[in-house]
Amino acid sequence: MYILAEKASHSTISDSDSKRVCLSWRPCIDAKSSEDRRECLITSVVLLSDDKLLVTDYANAVIKAFELSTNRLVAELSLPGKPWNACVIPNNHVAITLPENQTIQTVSTGGQLSAVQQITVHGHCRGIAFFDQQFVVGCQQPSKVELIGEDGQLKSSVSYDGQGKVHFDKPNYISVCVNDRRHVKIFVSDYGTKSITMMDKNLNILKVFTGLTLCEPCGVDASIPGELLVVYRMSNFIHRLDTSTGVTTIIQNTDKHKDYRQEMHNQILDPLDVSFCAATQRLYVVNGDVVSRRYVYVFSVEQV
């Protein structure tokens, strides 16, 4: 259970190897479509259900849905701008940020993918999450984190910390952990400050995690209470951050491949986003690396 802090504190992330949780490779998903005009750049991965996955393809300005039992592409939708991040919202819908358009696009996922509504955001919106009938959105140009209602009305905005200093530089990905309506934790990765900020439901800054100074935090997943899964660019691992202590452990890969080409297609290289499915104990990772950025890498998570 989380303990609400009265004022923000800073924690330095310390690294330690862990063999308690390991990964085993599963067949990866090739996100390339016959409709693509450019090489894919998958920037976000989100689970629609235990057997359905949605990705944002920034390079081709499309979103794509895959059936996980077969890894088959089942639907895709062209968007009016390049999508960066996505989150699930109620009633079989998702919301997608279009940074260059400064809009949030909502899409129905009930059958085929279909565009529903556009919400204007005053900034280059990147990370997005949803809780309690509102969006939490990270923006660049200007750098800020905002709460926006489903109707598009701005509820709250934060750019500065409690001392009046600019807090956010390049907020990138966002994840929310909701234990109940009173205990909501928002996590914002910022690759400009190389930090992760933990906030409450009102955008009060509770804690700032810094460390791993050579790495830029990208995708975050807060689906496990008390922990945060984080991927860092230039650190080709998946990290588990204990949000109470600031200690991070590296999730190990237990498989060893003899075939070089197989190794090349089973690497976490310059990762951008991560998503965990508790029901199936599967982990999904997408890369920014030019060789592997068309794939969604799938792992089974094992306790050892």
Q: What is the pLDDT of residue 183?
A: 84
User: CA-based angle 94:200:121, to the nearest 5?
Assistant: 45
What's the CA gap between 104 and 272, in Å, rounded? 20
Which has more pLDDT, 198 or 302? 198
- Per-residue model confidence as pLDDT tens digits over 200-250: 999 999 999 987 655 899 999 999 888 999 999 888 888 999 998 888 888
For residue 282, is pLDDT > 70? yes
For residue 4, is pLDDT > 60? no
Q: What is the pLDDT of residue 303?
A: 67
- Per-residue model confidence as pLDDT tens digits over 102-140: 999 999 998 899 999 999 999 999 999 999 999 999 999
Residue closest to 127 by CA, chosen among 144, 114, 113: 144
Contact 83, 57 (CB under 8 A): yes
DSSP state of 267: -
Coil, strand or helix: which one is 131?
A: strand
**What is the reported pTM?**
0.89
Contact 120, 137 (CB under 8 A): no
Mean pLDDT for 276-289 is 93
Give how far Cα 7 sits from Cα of 174, 187, 258, Å.
21, 16, 51
Contact 226, 179 (CB under 8 A): no
Domains of the chain, start order: 9-303 (2.120.10.30)
- Per-residue model confidence as pLDDT tens digits over 31-86: 999 999 999 999 999 999 999 999 999 999 999 999 999 999 999 999 999 999 99
Mean pLDDT for 243-268 is 64
For 192, residues 6+ apart whose C-beta sits below 8 A from its C-beta are 143, 168, 169, 170
What's the CA gap between 48 and 168, in Å, rounded? 30
What's the CA gap between 144 and 134, in Å, rounded? 16
Which has more pLDDT, 251 or 156? 156
Q: How many CB atoms lie within 10 A of CB 191?
A: 18
